[in-house]
Chains A and B, each alone.
Chain A
């Protein structure tokens, strides 16, 4: 019996090849999207889940009047541990701000994220260097490096630890012992590093009140968090009182450099208004309290979208299956009079659908495997379908069962419910009781597709605008050279002179900040009685020329005015506007305990990208409050670019002796372009979603029109007999669906409009919401409808009316 049913099923599927292919294909595509998103969501939601007790670990943070931050003081950790018994463990980490060279005669690597952590924190995160975690003795700093670093430095064989490596430039002859190899999946952890320094007490010999540390606490299981929060807040207040005198408040968010965090002294009273919070480790990646929760929203939206697409695909499958029920009706009728139970028929159809779903699932896995590289590329991740995703092995069969039930139960019930007497008489009329449901479904599908189409076009327009719009500076010919040497006038002038000698070099400068999206430090400046916070960029001569900034008023810094290097300052338009002064050039502005003379006004430049408005910014050659100027920028003629880079590379050790042994650089335009990465990802998501939803919607339309046309065959035949032309029939069949799609457009446009509007509002510099994308989305949906319905209708038009009317 089972074999016979199987045979019938296969023969049937083969006979209706086109439908079967569309059915299985549609489901497969939706399923593959589902699989990819499931992997992505699982990854995003399981950061640090391999840490035992991850649910009991919290990161401390502070609420300041204008923002939230995770930087906490050194002393807080110990005070908490002593005062609150529920806290099982505390640990701190501290970032190192610059790149760190590790080298041996055989190779050299640069640690870009070097962190120093307490031994207790290493234990809390279960960091397991090869050979086990050992408690560092006394003030010892145990250096652990990842496998790649070790391989690069000891290419021949793994050394015996501790192994001696030199730190920084070779000539400095500074050495450290590497204690071992640490393998920590930093791509899937909130504790990110490439070189790890473990010590017994991070705070040894450090300024105790510097807000420079991340403090993690591990609480005992079952702790009442509300109570704990209060206790922590009390301890924090105590600590504040103790250190109020020298309170150092930092500025900037996690992304900005640490150097910003330390030096900037602002009002001590701000500290009094601050509070403290505990942020669970489980939330840190997706929705940290101090930070943005865009990732979380993306994960939620993606999950919701995929589930929606999945359900729609299943319902389409159902529709397409039901559209073909007439063909199976006779089989049901006959089987029933031969003595088949209804249940066995239900079972038969479910098995049939299960088979199709199984094929779809296999196809989906293949599709997912094929599209994974694209996905990885768009999201800068490296997922593999099977590594770390063992859950799929049992999840996929469950998904298979669920989709089989969703897509199969209704057709199985409908089919098995046919009454033999109606079927066998030969005039089966499948009534369509759930018509409104179907219409609603089709409208929903097209609405979603239209929203994504319009969204894609709008996101693309904004990206195009960001790529082509004037930013106020020109990064095209600028090379950013990394450097770890503190600024010193004679040393720098010597270097500058030698670099300017190279043919093709237009200018060379140094600054504390480069236009890569990071925020400079902020210091209060007073002018004409107004005391305002200003971003301060610590620059040198030729800074404006190198970045080709535009002068608004006055002049830029110039060697011909030696005073510029002492008290000259340039404001940008935003700063001038903030103070509300007219003719600022020549006026005096006071900040950082000294008076500056304004020499010029520079036009605003979008150095932090398009999302934030240009901040009021001042540029000074001398400032004790600003960050150190260490970042070199060189402006080179494009024709000479390769030559200059080669020359710099070969002579770097000689040119900039104290920096180290390697010339490290990045192209400024690429660095700036990375600010668009998020938008490019969004564009990729929209691209995928638009294609997917259009495909699914078209599929739904295909199924629906197939059904409608089959059930209207008799009507069509009668109309033809009465003299309707082919065109009449086509327009009759099309008009209904065009109406549906128009309704979808009417619903989709406002949704897309509001969503796009809100998205565009996250940009300080944005396009005016264009109208064209809506029309394009509308036109595409209508054209697709016409094509799909006409494809289905052509059979109906061609059929001889006699065939349809014969059995009546």
Chain B
């Protein structure tokens, strides 16, 4: 599904290149649950941003579902966002002025889904996440865990083939974090959604099927996780 070849990212400052990513090559298949780990400054978030097409690498090739991402125009890239990619953020990034239901509905609007279907899909997702009672609340009326659930619901409602999550539990207490990770695992196993997450936590990483260890912009380890749970 995703093929990275020799991805490099550096910032040139007064002739000195400071590398964020070096020679990153890897392949991620449909249905994998990948955790990107590493210390601060290793380039995890940058790698995820490149995967999410929010940033462009300085060099290298990136193929997403058979398409060369780096040669895509803005419009095509937005099409990919609409149809294939769901984002989940550490700070949730819900739109404050929208209610829970409206936040979840938003991606469907851009996908030009009909009104009736939007309604049913939003109702469906709300039901699945047990948030029907909260649908008319605004984000600031929810707890962090609940907000992140809305964030995931929003990512899911457009039925993406891949979810990119940047420290999805970073702001949460551990009980809530476990709940979110369980949800990810379930989505991955039951619906076959590819998940790539950046995390600091070994516990969280253990939920996935594969771990990429980054150090100073280089993949040090690429290991499969033994399914123990």
Contacts and interface: CB of A to CB of B under 8 A. Distances in A.
Is the pairing of A and B real? yes
Contacts of A330: 93, 95-96
Nearest to A327: B96
B207 interface: no
Interface string A95-115: 000000000000000000000
Contact of A341 (B75, B95, B154): B75
A533 to B, nearest CB: 80
Given A335-B106, A339-B107, A15 B97 contact: yes
B54 A421 contact: yes
A15 B140 CA distance: 13
B11 interface: no
Contact of A333 (B75, B78, B93, B109): B93
Interface stretch (A1-9, A369-377, A442-450, A755-763): A1-9
Contact of B49 (A4, A339, A421, A426): A421
A12 interface: yes
Interface string A1-35: 10010011001100100000000000000000000
Given A337-B87, A420-B54, A426-B91, A11 B97 contact: yes
A7 B102 contact: yes
Contact of B81 (A7, A331, A339, A426): A339
Given A339-B82, A341-B75, A341-B78, A424 B93 contact: yes
B111 interface: yes
A338 interface: yes
Contacts of A11: 97
Nearest to A5: B109
A8 B78 contact: no
Contacts of B52: 337
Interface string A324-364: 00000011011111111110000000000000000000000
A8 B98 contact: yes
B97 A338 contact: no
A490 B72 CA distance: 109
Given A339-B81, A341-B78, A424 B97 contact: no
Contacts of B94: 334
Contacts of B55: 421
B19 interface: no
Contacts of B59: none
A338 B81 contact: yes
A36 to B, nearest CB: 37
Interface residues of B, number: 30
B8 interface: no
Nearest to B138: A11
Nearest to B164: A337
A335 to B, nearest CB: 7
A340 B97 contact: no
A652 to B, nearest CB: 78
Given A4-B102, A331-B97, A338 B54 contact: no
Task: Please indicate which of the listed interface residues A15, A331, A337 has the most CB atoms of chain B within 10 Å of its own CB.
Answer: A337
B95 A331 contact: yes
B33 to A, nearest CB: 21
A335 B54 CA distance: 13
A8 B103 CA distance: 11
Contacts of B107: 338-339
Contacts of A331: 95-97
B106 A4 contact: yes
A8 B105 CA distance: 13
Contacts of B129: none
B101 to A, nearest CB: 11
A16 to B, nearest CB: 11
B12 to A, nearest CB: 19
A388 B54 CA distance: 58
Contacts of A421: 49, 54-55
B15 to A, nearest CB: 24
Given A333-B93, A340-B110, 8 more contacts: A1-B109, A4-B106, A8-B97, A330-B96, A334-B93, A337-B85, A341-B78, A424-B91
Interface of A: 1, 4, 7-8, 11-12, 15, 330-331, 333-342, 419-421, 424-426
22 contacts: A1-B109, A4-B106, A7-B97, A15-B97, A330-B93, A330-B95, A331-B95, A334-B95, A335-B95, A335-B106, A337-B81, A337-B87, A338-B107, A338-B110, A338-B158, A339-B81, A339-B82, A339-B107, A420-B54, A424-B91, A424-B93, A425-B45
Top 6 closest A-B pairs, CB basis?
A339-B82, A339-B110, A421-B54, A339-B81, A11-B97, A338-B107
